[in-house]
Amino acid sequence: MQRTRYPERRRTVRLSLQVPLTVRCRLPEGETIDLKASTYIVSAHGALLLMDTPLIPGQNVQVINEMTSELVECYVTYLREKRERRFVGIGFATARADFWHIVFPKSGTRQAIRSAQTGALVPPGFRQDNPRQF
């Protein structure tokens, strides 16, 4: 069992998931443009996106999930460029835990593991020393 020195402080875990998106934002001149993006990491409270165009921290944007055509109001929380890639962090303006259509485990939850004997998912720490013989 692996223990960490510091407890997890995130509200929910982050999951690596690629979802194609359209990011709709307003330029300072008032014109609205649509930009293509994809998720890199998602959480119940937002996402880390890969984009070609930089945005401004604090900027309000609309994010459209191209797989479901759902739209959500967001704000830009983070910008970073690393090795020719541009990462943009977004947060949902209002709670939308169902926007990605996946269930997020609570923060600090350990992942289930596969049983070497059966291949079924078992809780972490579960031991089966004496398997039943049939």
Q: Are 30 and 63 in contact (CB under 8 A)?
A: no
- Domain, as residue range, for 83: 15-92
Residue 99 within a domain: no
The better pLDDT of the pair 91, 110 is held by 91
Residue 120 within a domain: no
The tally of domains found in the chain comes to: 1
Q: Which two tokens stand for residue 60?
A: 């309000």
Q: What is the CATH number of the domain that holds 31?
A: 2.40.10.220
Residue 69 within a domain: yes
pLDDT tens by residue, 54-73: 888 999 999 999 999 999 99
**8-state DSSP, 106:** B
Q: Which two tokens stand for residue 107?
A: 């923060």
Spatial CB neighbours of 101, under 8 Å, sequence gap ≥ 6: 68
Record the pTM. 0.71
Residue 3 within a domain: no
Please compute Rg for the chain using Cα positions: 19
Instruction: Report the candidate in 8, 9, 33, 24 with the shortest Cα–Cα distance to residue 90.
Output: 24
pLDDT tens by residue, 20-67: 999 999 988 889 999 999 999 998 899 999 999 888 899 999 999 999
